[in-house]
């Protein structure tokens, strides 16, 4: 799976990028046909406690999954997005199985 990480108006640390890669790669165990993932990170203005915005778009043949979260840290936002995407991917797979 190809993972593209875009950090808007700041430079993401290597530690954050490896965290994102690890978390997003976990989605492959739910659907092995996932082609790519786009991760967008940005800091929402004004500076408040919960101002880290993360969104992830997953592309698989015939499907597109999307999740967005705002949290106190990027790690927390990514965790929440991955949880949402897991549910979406599993639900999509279950729908395909039930149609057969």
- pLDDT tens across 56-96, in order? 999 998 899 999 999 999 999 999 999 999 999 999 888 87
**Its pTM surpasses 0.85:** yes
Helix or strand or coil: residue 46? coil
Domains of the chain: 2-99 (3.30.160.100)
pLDDT reading at 6 higher than 90: yes
pLDDT at 100: 62
Using the 8-state DSSP alphabet, how is residue 29 labeled?
Answer: G
Do the beta carbons of residue 85 and residue 56 sit within 8 Å? yes
Q: Are strands 52-60 and 36-43 parallel, antiparallel or unpaired?
A: antiparallel
Structure tokens at 74: 């990027």
């Amino acid at each position: 799976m190809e993972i593209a990480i875009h950090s808007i108006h700041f430079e993401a640390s290597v530690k954050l990028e490896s965290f994102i890669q690890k978390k997003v790669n976990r989605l492959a165990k739910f659907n092995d046909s996932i082609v790519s993932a786009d991760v967008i990170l940005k800091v929402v203005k004004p500076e408040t406690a919960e101002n880290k915005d993360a969104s992830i778009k997953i592309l698989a043949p015939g499907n597109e999954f999307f999740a967005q979260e705002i949290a106190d840290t990027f790690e927390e936002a990514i965790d929440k997005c991955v949880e949402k995407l897991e549910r979406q991917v599993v639900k999509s797979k279950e729908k395909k199985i039930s149609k057969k």
